[in-house]
Amino acid sequence: MKLALLGYGKMGKAIEAIACERGHTVGVTIDDEDDWMASVEALRGCDMAVDFSTPATAVSNIMRCFDLDLPVVVGTTGWYDQLESVVHDCEQRGKSLFVASNFSIGMNIVFDLNRRLAQLMNGRGEYGVGITEIHHVHKLDAPSGTAIALARDIIDELDGKNDWCLLREGKKADKDEVPIVSVREGEVPGVHEVVYDSDIDRITLRHEAKSRRGLAVGAVLAAEFLEGRKGYYTMREMLDQC
């Protein structure tokens, strides 16, 4: 495949390296509006777009890909309040879209473990639950899309939990909320930790990315999976068929 990389920061460069290792090429890289204006014809020659841009530009990038009939894999988070309308547009127009809050295969295994753990903990009111996520200082959204996905799965399984909240200084979570603590420091690729805590013990589910490579591998695998398919897909569909 010939890929278009929308966002050419550290993740974009990691994806480029993995794509080349797997026999693909990069036809165009886009980092700003000037790149878009100069690259329309080059984009028409690409087979797939991979977006790791910014929350402010992700939806616009997706719509531009739809207009070019270019399948797009999206790893940018922080725009999911518009996900429903974007998916509707994808399906109505017969386009191709793959969205994931985290492309790491290991993290997606943790998603399954998180759902199962929440099922086992349901009804055990002696435990409080919370999430902590740590990322590099360049990450623009907080909490991370991965932390929100973990929280939503917990909410689906735990009676009495109806929402999540971002804990800031001086704020406490309501009883029906799953609290998320977000930390931005150094060049941390990503740490996510779910903790159930009681007076007698603590249960911890933790995933720690060692580098961006795992995310890049997953993103390229998603592009390979999306090739030739129409509609909206997530990591769950891909992993179910791999």
**Residue 139 appears among annotated catalytic residues:** yes
* Residue found by looking up tokens 């990315």 in the block: 209
Q: Are strands 2-6 and 191-197 parallel, antiparallel or unpaired?
A: unpaired
The CA distance from 224 to 230, in Å, is: 13
| pLDDT given at position 222 | 97
| pLDDT given at position 221 | 96
Residues constituting the chain? 242
Identified catalytic residue from 135, 161, 192, 207: 135
Q: List the chain residues with pLDDT less than 70.
A: 242
Closest by Cα among 232, 236, 238 to 92: 232
Closest by Cα among 213, 214, 235 to 223: 235
| pLDDT given at position 50 | 98
The CATH superfamily label for domain 2-103+213-241 reads NAD(P)-binding Rossmann-like Domain (3.40.50.720)
pTM attached to this predicted model: 0.83
Closest by Cα among 89, 109, 106, 108 to 97: 89
| pLDDT given at position 139 | 87
Q: Which CATH class is domain 105-208?
A: alpha beta
State the number of CA atoms in the 13 A half-sphere of 164 facing the CB: 23
| pLDDT given at position 242 | 67
Q: How many angstroms separate the Cα of 124 from the Cα of each of 16, 71, 112, 117, 121?
A: 46, 44, 20, 12, 5
Other CB atoms within 10 Å distance of the CB of residue 78: 18
| pLDDT given at position 130 | 97
| pLDDT given at position 122 | 97
Domain ranges of the chain: 2-103+213-241, 105-208
